[in-house]
Amino acid sequence: MSHSVTLPSTKDIIELERRHRLPGGQSMTDLAGIVVDRAVNAEVWDRDGKRYIDFFTGVGVSNIGHSHPAFLEQLTTQLSRCAVGTFYTDVRSRYFALLAAQLPEQLGEIHMFSTGSEAVEAAVKLARAATGKHEIVSFWGGFHGKTQGALSLHGGPRKHRSGPFPPGSHQVPYADCYHCPLQLEHPECGQRCVDLAEQSIENGSVGDLAAVIVEPVQGTNGNIIPPEGYLRRLRQLADRHGALLILDEVITGFGRTGALFAFEHDPGIAPDVVVLGKAMASGVPASAIVSRSGLVEGTSFAVPSAAASTFGGNPLASAASLATLRVLLDERLPERAHELGKSVSDRLSAWREEFPFVGNADNIGLMIGVELMDPATRLPLPKGITRRLFQELMARGVLAMAYDSRIRLYPPLSIPTHHLEEGMAAFEGAFRAMAPVISRL
């Protein structure tokens, strides 16, 4: 008697998931409509055997590329020994030492969590405990996660209809030069937006500022790169108010911008707290805050168990984080991101020349943002059009956050050059296919 096993089809799998799924998940899941089978470095295969170049990488999670052999080996070894946390482990001690060695000496204290949002919440709690004050300044267009506290820091419509939020949160303009809030030009502006932020704090705050939290490059807002010296100005602003400077490096960290951490691009900057996540453990949920030594001593944050969480820093997360950092350093992937970023910059200039609907297009390392606009009105391209562009890219075998007018690309830092080329060429093909449609708008 023969037993034939019928494997569920792509359609069956999607239908089964949708039947049980609570709405509100990542929009790209349904837009792509694929079932992922496996992934290696910058390539992803779906269940029907179609292969894609991955410029999405789970929103910048796979900096070392999918399924890196050293990562797999260390993770499976740890999995077979112990996965559950709480006690001291060799692997976490080695991770702390290696991470601390990459950071300025004063950033010596690390605590691990599981998600970026959780680490942001902890950073805010730390700032409140350390300063004894409660207000937090964040930025227009800034994004720090979707838990209630993190969402209260968001500077945009994502938080609409989700309140009320914890009190004491102020949003001030960011140095988004292409869309300057003051309609000035850099560098003649002298970064007037920082003065405006200061005025806004003077007028809106009750004089109890605990922290300024900022993304060194705004990821969710479209990979918006502020001008040189901006973070230094924010450091001074925080100091004037006796507030901590928290850098949210959840997206920018671990080599994405061509340095291990984005704040390294500005040698004059000394953050009090750095928030890490996403690429930290290459897909195993892990995040962290790293803080200036001694900040929380004797405060409510430091009470035993006060900052602990079930999965934070467990042996599996620690092994994944250690393996990831080792690969990043051994393979010099931040430097590689910087080098590849140069060729990306050239390509983006060519796009701005050739395609009238490409507006702001800029990159720092392999953190790449491309804004699409209606050439006649300079308004963002409508969703109907950008979603067609997304489908054009899928058809050409590229996965990318290209479904709205602010395209964000996060290829692995380990992407082979010819795969980067292939992906960028697919964009050009998709842009050319869409050009007649856009010109008829």
Binding interface with ligand PMP (CB under 6 A): 59, 115-117, 120, 143-145, 215, 219-220, 248, 250-251, 277
Which candidate, 280, 331, 323, 325, places its Cα nearest to that of 79? 323
- DSSP-derived secondary structure letter, 279: G
Q: What angle do CA 384, 386, 391 make, to 5 degrees?
A: 95
Estimate the share of the chain in helix, then strand, then coil, as percent rounded to the nearest 5: 40, 15, 40
> Is residue 31 a contact partner of residue 387, using CB atoms and an 8 Å limit?
yes
Name the minimum Å distance from CB 435 to ligand PMP: 31
SS3 224: strand
Name the minimum Å distance from CB 119 to ligand PMP: 8
How much is the CA Rg of the chain, to the nearest whole Å?
22
Show the tokens assigned to 352: 């701005």
Tokens 């059009």 correspond to what residue? 385
Name the minimum Å distance from CB 141 to ligand PMP: 11
**Residue count (the chain):** 441
Name the minimum Å distance from CB 26 to ligand PMP: 10
Q: Give the C-alpha distances (Å, rounded to integers) separating 82 from 78, 114, 216, 293, 316.
A: 6, 17, 36, 30, 8
Tokens 């010296």 correspond to what residue? 229
Q: Which residue, 116 or 315, is less far from ligand PMP as judged by CB?
A: 116
Q: Which residue, 147 or 391, is less far from ligand PMP as judged by CB?
A: 147
Show Cβ contacts of residue 191 under 8 Å, excluding neighbours closer than 6 positions.
Answer: 175, 227, 229, 230, 233
Name the minimum Å distance from CB 339 to ligand PMP: 24
Name the minimum Å distance from CB 250 to ligand PMP: 4
Name the minimum Å distance from CB 143 to ligand PMP: 5
What is the dihedral angle through the alpha carbons of 436, 437, 438, 441, rounded to the nearest 10 degrees? Answer: 120
Q: Which run of H or of E encompasses 370? A: strand 367-372
How many alpha carbons lie under 13 Å from residue 67 in its C-beta half-sphere?
9
Q: Which residue, 120 or 398, is less far from ligand PMP as judged by CB?
A: 120
Name the minimum Å distance from CB 118 to ligand PMP: 7
In 80-143 the beta strands, taken as DSSP E runs, fall at: 107-113, 135-139
Q: Which residue, 271 or 277, is less far from ligand PMP as judged by CB?
A: 277
Show the tokens assigned to 20: 């049980």
Q: Which residue, 282 or 438, is less far from ligand PMP as judged by CB?
A: 282
**Spatial distance between the Cα atoms of 333 and 354, rounded to a whole number of angstroms:** 31
Number of other residues whose CB lies within 10 A of the CB of residue 35: 16
**Spatial distance between the Cα atoms of 157 and 159, rounded to a whole number of angstroms:** 5
Closest chain position to ligand PMP (CB): 116
What φ, ψ does residue 368 adopt, rounded to 5°? -120, 130
Q: Which residue, 313 or 347, is less far from ligand PMP as judged by CB?
A: 313
Name the minimum Å distance from CB 32 to ligand PMP: 18
Q: Which residue, 250 or 367, is less far from ligand PMP as judged by CB?
A: 250
Number of other residues whose CB lies within 10 A of the CB of residue 222: 23
Q: Which residue, 118 or 392, is less far from ligand PMP as judged by CB?
A: 118
Tokens 């709480």 correspond to what residue? 86
Show the tokens assigned to 211: 């922290």
